[in-house]
């Protein structure tokens, strides 16, 4: 955590016009090396009138948070306003039980669908997972690739993957936009899910605002130096209409 201090009236220590950065280390951070906690001895020949020795110097690298980390951080800041279930999910604590009324509804609900032609019945593990989900306040069910498509056939709903801006900007960059990717492993989109990705679907012929979005894409690609703030704002407004 860092606090910036700039004051022409010298309320903060330091000369006028200087900016002081005060860093507060996280409790789990590595301890500060001792050589940075004390001043170096005064070198030979230094004037006695000069107070103190040479202060040690170090470099500080400031890294941008990724867009995903930024969203997580924003959510955690609001955690005190969350309900018990939301807090349990976020903190990894025990999930609260489903209230009695909804539990009874879930217990009486048939986990399988038998009256729709073309839909295959669940196997025992699938049946058990669905039954448990109906009687729980929160459940995660993971299935193998293409499982839903094979089970539901022509009744299968179309799934769409919506990536964050850090992924979309790799394929459709906006001039002047600062990347939020850190120095770690670079996030990439799944090529096998490309046709189901929202930033690809909205650019397909016949989709709402497709012509406007692809026009901005061409402008950003062909004349990046001519792009101004209003162009970027108009693009973001189009995305907002689609969400």
- By the 8 A CB rule, do 97 and 89 touch? no
pLDDT at 96: 93
pLDDT in tens, 152-205: 666 666 778 888 777 888 888 888 765 555 544 566 777 877 888 888 888 999
- By the 8 A CB rule, do 181 and 66 touch? yes
Do 55 and 76 lie in one domain? The reply is no
Do 104 and 133 lie in one domain? The reply is yes
Question: What angle (nearest 5°) sits at the alpha carbon of residue 241, between those of residues 189 and 217?
Answer: 55
Q: Is 36 exposed, middle or buried (0-12, 13-18, 19+ CB in 10 A)?
A: exposed
pTM greater than 0.85 (yes/no): no
Range of the domain at 39: 1-62
Torsion of CA 197, 198, 202, 203, to 10 degrees: -40
pLDDT in tens, 51-79: 555 666 677 777 777 777 877 888 888 88
- Is 50 a member of any domain? yes
Do 51 and 118 lie in one domain? The reply is no
pLDDT in tens, 85-140: 999 988 889 999 999 999 999 999 888 876 677 677 788 888 898 899 999 999 88
Which has more confidence, 165 or 46?
165
CA distance 214 to 203: 7
The domain tally of the chain equals 4
């Amino acid at each position: 955590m860092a606090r910036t201090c700039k004051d022409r009236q010298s309320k903060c220590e330091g000369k006028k016009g200087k900016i002081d950065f005060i860093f507060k280390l996280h409790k789990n951070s590595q301890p500060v090396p001792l050589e940075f906690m004390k001043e170096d001895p005064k070198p030979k020949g230094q004037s006695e009138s000069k107070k103190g020795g040479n202060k040690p110097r170090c470099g500080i690298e400031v890294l941008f948070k990724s867009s995903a980390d930024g969203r997580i951080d924003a959510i955690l800041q609001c955690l005190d306003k969350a309900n018990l279930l939301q807090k349990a999910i976020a903190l990894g604590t025990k999930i609260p039980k489903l209230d009695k009324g909804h539990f009874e509804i879930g217990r009486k609900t048939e986990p399988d669908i038998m009256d729709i032609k073309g839909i295959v019945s669940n196997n025992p593990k699938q049946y058990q997972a669905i039954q448990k989900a109906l009687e729980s306040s929160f459940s995660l069910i993971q299935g193998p690739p293409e499982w839903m498509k094979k089970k539901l056939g022509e009744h299968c709903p179309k799934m769409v993957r919506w990536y964050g801006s850090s992924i979309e900007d790799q394929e459709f960059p906006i001039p002047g936009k600062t990347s939020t990717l850190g120095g770690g492993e670079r996030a990439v989109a799944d090529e096998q899910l490309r046709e189901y990705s929202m930033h690809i679907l909205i650019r397909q012929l016949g989709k709402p605002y497709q012509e406007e979005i692809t026009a901005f894409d061409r402008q950003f690609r062909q004349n990046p130096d001519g792009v101004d703030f209003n162009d970027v704002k108009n693009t973001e407004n189009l995305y907002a209409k689609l969400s």
